[in-house]
Structure 1
Amino acid sequence: MAGHAPSGPHRLRNFVAGEFVDGATTFAKASPVTGEQVFEVDEASESTVDDAVVAARAALRGPWGRMGERERAEVLRRVADELERRFDDLVTAEVADTGKSIAQARTLDIPRGAANFRAFAEIVATAPTESFTTVTPTGGRALNYALRKPVGVVAVIVPWNLPLLLLTWKVAPALACGNAVVVKPSEETPASATLLAEVMAAAGVPAGVFNLVHGFGPGSAGEHLTRHP
């Protein structure tokens, strides 16, 4: 179902072009505390990664690519609001993934993740554009100025130790600057990234701006992303 996580316990799917999609195979994610399986994760195939990149490129040609800095900043503020609304769900996901204490997740990971989106929203909405004049060889004066443009589709690969916090440190500035992203969380910590996909949809982020692929490194989603043209 577009924009919402599918029903069923403990199933984490890929998120491409605004919809949750299955993988060709699945793998088990175990609790680092008990060793018991807590999630079944859909592993993205190479074609799923391709689809995610295609969706991201399409988003850059669509409404997202035509948004100005202040409009994008408002979208990021809505993401921060939705992260706070899903606070308890994100705490549960972080604890299940990492085995860290509830207190740490509640006081560091989730609040800082939301704060990152607000911080980069403010930065991009207020960042000045450099300009200066120079004297030309003929004695005239030339105005030099800088224009900032998105780089395009950004692959975001995140480690396991602070899965949501480090994810927001990468995704928030990339989106603030007008890029689209394809995210691959660590196979050890896939849950909060999947929840972030739900958050993006609920906050009205256009389809294809945020894509999520699960998997491993060599021969899996990580390699498919890092080798992708």
Structure 2
Amino acid sequence: MSHQEVPNALRTLNLIDGQWREASGGAWFDKYEPANGRVMAHIAAGTAADVDAAVAAARRQFDGGEWSTMPGAERGRLMHRLADLLEANADEFVTLLAREGGRVVMEPRMMDIPMAIDTLRYFAGWADKLEGRQIPTAGFMGQPTFNYTVREAIGVAALIVPWNNPMLIGVWKLAPALAAGCTVVIKPSEDAPIGLTRLAGLATEAGFPAGVINVVNGQAEVGQALVSHPGVNKISFTGSTPVGRAIAAVAGPQFKHLTLELGGKAPQIIFEDALLERAIGGVAMGLFANQGQTCAAGTRVLVHRSRYEEVLHALAGAARSLNVGDPLDGHTQMGALINARHADRVKGMIHAAREAGARMFAGDEAVPAEGYFVRPTVFGHVSPDAVIAREEIFGPVGVVMPFDTVDEAVALANDTQYGLSATLWTNSVGQAHSVAARLRVGAVAINGWSPLDARLPWGGGKDSGMGRDLSRVALDAYLEEKVVSLVM
């Protein structure tokens, strides 16, 4: 993991027990900027020893530090302070996230930063409202009892964050954990560690006690050490289904609490009565936002046969019209994929689909010579059994497939290993709600891409994972209920 120092490259350290530290082994790795392929930062390559130190710090603070006895209102005040600091530094974070993720600046400016701030404030409001219950019973062996419950933080939470929306998803996990009273160890993705680590620095500035928020950067060794660590009580992971399955296999025998938000192959269903002018723009956004690098990307576009050719050509035209290039340029509409390896994988899937006979209607246009760019790509006349129609691509690639009846649309939508989200486009309120009830997913959006809000639970079933981020449900996942019974 040796590297050559690059002038002006950022240096990203680990935050352990309130102190910025180099990795215990002294190693570093390089983070490359997706839009140009150049070194953006040198990242401290954490080890299992760094994980041990971070978990120990979190454990000390949870078991006997000031955090363990801090009133909920004070925890909420610190969270509001962190939200204020993020808001004050929003411009810095917008640029940082655009550079490290290859994303157009509009996306973090309009979505990631505002929602992260709102999520912190939403959960801050819950911190002093963790109320228990009083439960009447018939008594115990003839004696009356007084029974009540208290809701207590689970303990130390390991938050393992992906690269596609690192700051936002990191806050989705961090905010409910802090509101509940947990301490945390965050493992950012090695492909996007800078913004999230910087946010942890703001938490220190906000006044969070040492050991409450720890960050260990690194590669697979760090994640594996966190998942298996006996001092960790809860794991919240967002990422691929195979890695989620591996985490569950390790954490299950240790009875760790788990939240897993995994892959997706979301359908977008366009019915015969849909308002197409609105639908095409919404479908394109659901397919191409963040270069298609989202678990909820609507990559399966199912269209009533009477509108099929019209939608196929309109969506292909929308794809061809997108300006792909420098994410910091305000005229750019789509940026670069996260790294060279991932870009090659997506290109390989596109090539394989064409070799298998799928017809490409958009995607051949030129891309910038530098960086990890893939044009927004649309395939038509694809069998539902084709690899390109079944496997998660995690890139700006969609397939458009026809259906004839509502039952066929529902069957096609549900014919996948994933169950995260779906979108319906129809002018019929009754049809919208009846179809939504039949879809085996965690979120259904009607006439728009799935809205994300701190108050709405987010997650899915089948191979899309278990548990939920966001909303009161996410808060409950960091709490345990203790019953106390007094025999009178």
SS in 2 for 1:134: coil
> Could you tell me which residue of structure 1 aligns to residue 75 of structure 2?
72
Contact 2:131–2:151 under 8 Å retained in 1: no
Q: Relative contact order (C-alpha < 8 Å, sep 6+): which is higher?
A: 1
Greater Rg by CA: 2
2: distance between equivalents of 1:55 and 1:188? 26
Is 1:181 equivalent to 2:184 in the alignment? yes
1: distance between equivalents of 2:165 and 2:129? 29
Identical pairs, percent: 37
> Could you tell me which residue of structure 1 aligns to residue 89 of structure 2?
86
- Choose from 136, 147, 150 the match for 1:133: 136
Contact 2:177–2:183 under 8 Å retained in 1: yes
Report runs of 4+ in structure 1 exceeding 6 Å deviation.
none
- Choose from 196, 200, 205 the match for 2:199: 196
Aligned AA (1:16): I
Aligned AA (2:218): G
2: distance between equivalents of 1:100 and 1:167? 17
Q: Show the 5 A alignment for 1:201-216.
A: 201-216=204-219
Offset, 1:192: 0.9
Q: How many equivalent pairs are there?
A: 220
> Could you tell me which residue of structure 1 aligns to residue 48 of structure 2?
46
The structure with the largest helix share of the pair is 1
Q: Deviations over 1:130-181 (max 9, x none)?
A: 2221122555543321111121111110011110110001111111111110
Aligned AA (2:74): E
Aligned AA (1:50): D
Is 1:37 equivalent to 2:39 in the alignment? yes
Is 1:96 equivalent to 2:80 in the alignment? no
2: distance between equivalents of 1:121 and 1:139? 44
Is 1:158 equivalent to 2:130 in the alignment? no
Unaligned runs of 5+ in 2: 1-7, 231-488
Q: Deviations over 1:4-33 (max 9, x none)?
A: xxxx74101111111110022111111111
> Could you tell me which residue of structure 1 aligns to residue 381 of structure 2?
none
> Could you tell me which residue of structure 1 aligns to residue 61 of structure 2?
59
Contact 1:133–1:141 under 8 Å retained in 2: no
2: distance between equivalents of 1:138 and 1:223? 49
> Could you tell me which residue of structure 2 aligns to residue 4 of structure 1?
none
Q: Deviations over 1:105-126 (max 9, x none)?
A: 1111011111111111112323
Aligned AA (2:94): V
1: distance between equivalents of 2:188 and 2:211? 17
- After alignment, is 138-147 or 152-161 more displaced? 138-147
- After alignment, is 108-117 or 124-133 more displaced? 124-133
> Could you tell me which residue of structure 1 aligns to residue 227 of structure 2?
226
Pairwise CA RMSD: 1.4
> Could you tell me which residue of structure 2 aligns to residue 111 of structure 1?
114
2: distance between equivalents of 1:137 and 1:49? 46
What TM-score results when the alignment is normalised by the length of structure 2?
0.44
